[in-house]
Amino acid sequence: MKKLNVLLATVAAFGLAACGGDKSQDASSASASAPKSITMNLAHNQNETHPVHLAIEMFAKEVADKTQGRIQIKVYPNAQLGSETECLEQLNTGVLPMTKVSAPGLASFDDAYNTFGLPYLFKDTKDFYRVMDSKQMQDFIPDALVMSSKVWNTLSKEDQNVILTAARNSTEWQKQAWDKATDEAIKEAKEKMGVEFVTDVDKAAFQSATSGMVDQYSNEYPGVKKLVELIKSI
């Protein structure tokens, strides 16, 4: 199993982590040098209207504003620089400073991330945010902005704090944007496509029907078993 070296505190839905690369230079030595202008590429596979992309654009703008334009983050959507796996490979070598990756991509570093592909672990979206925002879940990031530690270690402590704060702020904005996009999609489906949504669903029956899948993954992946038990305890 590959190792994902998480260097930063993380936040649910759109967290920030740092991985790979040379860790020989620490933040304290970097902070001793004079501030410098930096341009970093950030790649992801969503389109320009997706809430994730919009949150990333907000993140980049806040970083630029808080550093008076000294740190610029150039965003490449639509998998322009490769798939999630390819971007992670580039990030680990230090070629790509930042990328957005979902749980399946992170599963190659930690099998616990396979958990987020399992059905009915959460009651609803509100329950998902409640669990993911808890202190017990701070080590897990189902949809994350990942940064090369080779690049991270060249930043001053002040710049690191700016980037982390901007990531947290964009997380909260993305939650609202995601809910809005979902409501708009439902409205369009009803009004333009004639789709009828069934809301009175016996979730317990579906949970029972898919429990074998959860058990299978828990037996196959020790990380999944541990994380499922943690989710249920929160």
Q: Read off the pLDDT of residues 192-211 as tens digits, 9 standing for 90 and up.
A: 999 999 888 888 898 899 98
pTM: 0.75
Residue 215: phi and psi, rounded to 5, are: -65, -40
pLDDT tens, position by position, 214-231: 999 999 999 999 999 999
Nearest Cα to Cα of residue 6 among 140, 172, 108, 105 = 140
Residue bearing the bigger pLDDT, 198 or 138? 198
159 is a domain residue? yes
Mean pLDDT of the chain, nearest integer: 83
Tokens, residue 64: 């630029």
Q: How far apart, in whole angstroms, are the C-alpha atoms of residue 208 and residue 212?
A: 8
In a domain, 82, yes or no: yes
CATH (domain of 65): 3.40.190.170
Dist. CA 40–CA 97, nearest whole Å: 6
Residue 10 within a domain: no
Evaluate whether 66 touches 159 at the Cβ level (below 8 Å): no
- Is pLDDT above 70 for 3? no
Contact present, 60 and 69 (Cβ < 8 Å): no
pLDDT tens digits, 29-67: 444 556 789 999 999 999 999 999 999 999 999 999 999
Is 1 domain-assigned?
Answer: no
Q: Tokens in use for 145?
A: 């902005």
For 81-94, what is each residue's pLDDT tens digit?
Answer: 999 889 888 888 88
User: Amino acid identity of 117?
Assistant: G
- 107 Cβ partners below 8 Å, 6+ apart? 113, 114
9 lies in some domain: no
192: amino acid identity, one letter: K
Residue 5 placed within a domain: no
Q: Nearest-CA neighbor of 105 among 121, 87, 122, 93?
A: 87
Range of the domain at 146: 15-233
Q: Which long-range contacts (CB under 8 A, 24 or more apart) does 225-234 make?
A: 226/112, 227/112, 227/115, 227/140, 228/115, 228/118, 228/121, 230/136, 230/137, 231/115, 231/121, 231/122, 231/131, 231/137, 233/136, 234/130, 234/131, 234/134, 234/136, 234/137
Tell me whether residue 3 is in a domain.
no
Beta strands 98-102 and 38-43 are: parallel
At 136 the pLDDT is 86
Q: How many domains in the chain?
A: 1
